[in-house]
Every structure is written in structure tokens, then in C-alpha cells.
Structure 1
Amino acid sequence: MSTSTAAPKARKQLSSSILLWVRTDQPRQTGMDYWKGPHSGIISANRGLKEYRQIHVAEDNVGRWPATAGIATAIPHDRKIDGIAEVTLKGVLSTLQGRKQNAMAYQDEINVFRRTLLYAGLPGMSRWYDVAPGEPVGSRAVIYVRRRDGVSARTFRKLVNTQLVSAMAGTGLLKELRTQTFLPWSQKLWDTPNVAHDNPEDQRFHASVMLGFADDAARDAFFAGDAIRGLSEQLIPLAATIHAYDVTAALTYVKDARVLPHHEA
């Protein structure tokens, strides 16, 4: 695979990620279907949304990132997520427009989830990169990264937005690339009732990367390639944990501030 040192053009966004764990007192698919159906309608009606996507991850996810000495790449079973709500806002005042729907979502979470954790950033801390405009995405993976103790947030953001993005885009395999770097996690941002929000400091994440590929074969080649193994070695001084999940579906319910009549896959 070829590599490049130049990062692709980015479109800066205001977005957040909510990590989700479905209830375990019912079949997993029951929870995933409820999230895909009734719960999606509550979120989609939020007038402050520019985009709303549900990221469904595979049930069997042990960690796709290549094993690297000094970096935790195996996903612990008790912290393995079931999905992510990827919410992109129109602007900084959009939270005011969505207060009614957020209140409804608070009450509905107990019907489907057992734990929810919201990670947020300031405007521009989320970046959607133009790696292959208009080309279809047939396979995806999502990565969550925890920075190493002693590494500053500024240094870490620079790592994600330059070194990491350039190395990944330079493989030539990506059809989609989205990055988010997060503010320090706070339960107050999404403190829903009757749902767990336990998030010990040593379990918190500081960035996510969404990767899209033409197909599963391209995804497999990406993670097995020399460029990613080399990048992983370079990340040892800065990253303590890299959890890479296979994605089974990325469902879009709101696009360009418009609620879709039916979700797009």
C-alpha cells in the first residue's frame, strides 16, 4: 500500500458520540431493533440536528487493531459497546432547539439501553475528510483511542488530525474518514435516569475514528497492512488504548438537516 504525508481536505463539524450498551435481560437483537425503530424516531425529530447516524457494531468484537506492545488493543468483554449514536448539530445553539426531544430520549433510554456515555467536542473538533467523494462504502470500522497519561490534549489532537489521518488516508483504501477529538468526559452532559453512566477515568476515551472501505476485503487489508503496523509502533508514546470495532451498519436518519422518510444504509 502506498502512503502519503498530506492530510485530505476536511469539513469541520460540531458533533458528539454516545456510546451505547443494550440491556442484557432480553435478546441483544431485540434491543438493537428497538433502537433502530421507535428510539430513532425520537432522536430524528430533534430540530437542531444536521445529521443523525446509528453505528451498529458487530456482536463479536475482540479488537481489530493489530496487537502492539505497550498499547491495549483487546476489547474487554464487560466494556464492549453495542453501538454509537453519531449526532452532528447545526450549530452551537442547536442544543436549545432539541431540549424537548432530549427529554423524551432521556425517558426512553431505559427501554433499550443499560449504559450510555456521551463524548462531546467543541466546534471543529470533529472533521469529516473528503477521501473519496461520492464513492460507495461497503464496509466500516470504528476506532476509539485513549491517550497515554502525561500526553496533553493539544498534542493528542495534533496526532489525530495530522499523523494519524495522513497515515490512514495514505493507504488508498478509505472511502470514508471521520475523526472526533473529545473534551474531558462529564456525566452531566448526558445524565439520563435509570441507565448506568459509570466511566472510570482509566476507561475514558479521547478520540474516535470512523473508517469506510469498499468492502470487507479492503477493510481486512487495511488492518493487516504495513502502514497500520508502522503507525501503531509510532503511537506507543502517545496512545494507551486503541479499540477497533467491526461495524455491521451505519444508518442515517437525518441528513443535511432533513429527516429522511426511511433511513439510509
Structure 2
Amino acid sequence: MVVRPVTTTTATKTLSGIYPVRYRADLPRRVADEYWAGPHAELVKRGGHILEYNQYHFAETDHGYWPATPTVGTHPAEMFRWNGVTEVRLRNYPEMARAAYGMLGTIFHDEQNVFDNVLGHVCGPGGGSWWTVGHDPSVGHRTVLLLRRRRGVRRRRFHTFVHNAFGPVLAAAGALDTRAYTFLPFTGIAHRTPGLAHSYPPGHRHDGAIIFGLPHRNDVAGLLSDPAVDDIVAQQAQTLTAVHAYSVARTVSVIDQVGR
């Protein structure tokens, strides 16, 4: 029997990292998916010092379904569309350093075997909020929202909107295993693995993310019809210029040590 972690009303703050990935164009999608979930994941397991490590493999065609409002883009450009996201949670900064050291010569050098581009985003103290006590394996469908902050809007205001409004409203409306993240500036420089790119043009970068689950993909429409969620959509242009929704075709829970 699968035990579902409890959805909480009060957010737990986390030290986390979010890593959008784009596969090598010269590899078939199926080959890249299996390598990321197989040999690469096995290297991650042996590295240590990580509380939770999830891979979210995006569907090839199901994306861009967040409601659009004037001046807020919802459809990622094809040439800048991601194939997935890695989500990492750590206990503290010393453990982050130990985890990174353990990846030298192994995971970092392995990324060139499957990825063309990886962007490393550290969320910093309080930059991650969880409305769940841990990974929920029973969730039927997940969505990853990649958020772009409106330039001219201060980072503190963006942080408040994501953690105190957007995330809590989704959790209260019935979203499962909800996590919200805001990225520290310039943290992409912390992820410079050899043999692949680590940059995107400014107009195609993201400043935060929200990951949430539902029993089924069709339940997204019901979530969006909730009045509080509809109100968030109405407000989004004040803080954001893009909300790119990606349907997760496959979630791979590589490490799950939360609560142990």
C-alpha cells in the first residue's frame, strides 16, 4: 500500500536547487529519457548528502496550458523549451558543498552524455516552500510551472507573490505535493559542468518554479476553475511576464530521505 504524505497548510522552508535540462539534439528522446532515469540516476544515488532528488520528465507535446492574460506569456518557444527539471533538497549549505564535491568527476562529467544545456538555480534560505512533508508517489499527474519575474518588480515582491500567494492558493485549492521556489540571482554560475551549455538568453530565463500534483491530468481544469486560483491568474501580470506550464510524463524519485 502506498502511503501518501500529508498535505500541510503551513509551508516548510527548504534549501533546494532547481535544474532545468535540455537533452542533446543528436540523441533520440527515448534514449535520453532512459539514460537520465537509469545510469545518470545511479551515479546520483552514490553521491550522498542529498535529502531528496527528483527527476521530472516533461511530455513532448503537452505544455503551455496555463491560462494566458495580457502581457503574460504561456507558450515556451520551441528552441528554448526544456525537456525536464531536476529538483534537489539539501539539509544545509555544508551538505550542499559536500554533495557538489561528491559529484566532481562523476555526475558532472556524466551530464555531457545526455544533456545539451543545464541551468543550475539555487533557491537559498527560504527560497523553497513545501506544502507537503515529502514526495508523494501516489500523485497521478504533475505540472511544473516555470515563472519569469517582470523586470521592474523587486525580487522581494516576486518572492512574496510566489511563496505567500501563488503556492498557498494552489495547495488550498486541492493541489497535491505542492512546492514553490524562487531562485537566487546569478546562481547559474555555480553549475558549470564540462561539455554542455549553462546559459539562456535573458528573455527566455526563469526566476522561479512551482511544482504541483493532481490525481489526473484532466483535473487541471477543475483546479483552474477555483475562484482563488482564478484570482491569482488575474493578478499574475503585476508580477510575472511568463508562466510556462509543462506536463510531467514521468516522475523519477531517485533519492527520498525526507523525514527519515
Q: TM-score if structure 2 supplies the norm length? A: 0.89
1:20, 1:78 → 2: CA distance? 13
Q: Contact 1:52 / 1:255 at 8 angstroms: preserved in 2?
A: yes
Q: Is the 8 A contact 1:61 1:75 kept in 2?
A: no
Q: How does 1:225-264 map to 2 (within 5 A)?
A: 225-256=226-257
Amino acid at match of 2:250: A
What is the aligned partner in structure 1 of residue 145 from structure 2?
A: 143
Kept in 2, the 8 Å contact 1:174–1:212? The answer is yes
Task: Report the equivalent of 1:124.
Answer: 126
1:64 alignment counterpart: 65
Deviations 1:179-209 (A, max 9, x none): 1111013432101111012222222211100
Distance in 2 (alpha carbons) for counterparts of 1:204 and 1:73: 13
Q: Which amino acid in structure 1 is aligned with residue 221 of structure 2?
A: D
Separation in structure 2 between the aligned mates of residue 131 and residue 257 of structure 1, nearest angstrom = 8
Q: Which residue of 2 aligns with 1:4?
A: none
User: Is 1:49 aligned to 2:53, yes or no?
Assistant: no
Q: C-alpha separation between the residues in 1 aligned to 2:240 and 2:83?
A: 23
Q: Secondary structure at the match of 2:86?
A: strand
Determine if contact 2:131/2:179 at 8 Å carries over to the other structure: yes
Deviation at 1:228, TM superposition (A): 3.3
SS class of match (1:197): coil
Deviations 1:190-233 (A, max 9, x none): 01111012222222211100011122222232235554343212
Deviations 1:29-55 (CA, angstroms, capped at 9, x unpaired): 100100000000111222210111111
SS for the counterpart of 2:61 is: coil
Q: What is the letter of the counterpart of residue 155 of structure 1?
A: R
Matched, 1:17 2:21: no
Superposition map of 1:1-265 within 5 A: 8-98=9-99, 99-130=101-132, 136-171=138-173, 173-223=174-224, 225-256=226-257
Contact 1:45 1:101 in 2 (8 A): no
Gaps of at least 5 residues in structure 2 are: 1-7
Report the Cα distance in structure 1 between the residues aligned to 2:201 and 2:216, rounded to whole angstroms: 36
Structure 2 Cα separation of the partners of residues 227 and 46 of structure 1? 42
Q: Contact between 1:14 and 1:90, CA under 8 Å: does it hold in 2?
A: yes
**Deviation at 1:123?**
2.4
2:17–2:121 CA contact under 8 A, matched in 1? yes
Q: Which moved more, 1:110-119 or 1:131-140?
A: 131-140
Q: Which moved more, 1:89-98 or 1:27-36?
A: 89-98
Letter of the 1:218 counterpart: D
Report the Cα distance in structure 1 between the residues aligned to 2:209 and 2:203, rounded to whole angstroms: 16
Shift of 1:257: 6.4
Query: Which whole-Å CA distance do the structure 1 matches of 2:53 and 2:251 have between them?
Result: 10
Q: Which amino acid aligns with 2:73?
A: A
Report the Cα distance in structure 1 between the residues aligned to 2:17 and 2:61, rounded to whole angstroms.
Answer: 25
Once structures 1 and 2 are overlaid, which stretch shifts more, 156-165 or 97-106? Answer: 97-106
- SS of the aligned residue for 2:105 comes to helix
Structure 1 residue 234: Cα displacement = 0.8
Could you tell me the TM-score, scaled by structure 1's length?
A: 0.88
How far, CA to CA, are the matches of 2:215 and 2:138 in structure 1? Answer: 7
Deviates more, 1:218-227 or 1:14-23: 218-227
Question: Which stretches in structure 1 are left out of the alignment for 5+ residues?
Answer: 1-6, 259-265
Q: How far 1:161 moved relative to its partner?
A: 1.2
Gap change, CA 1:203 and 1:133, over 3 Å in 2 = closer
Aligned 8 A contact 1:107 1:193 in 2: yes
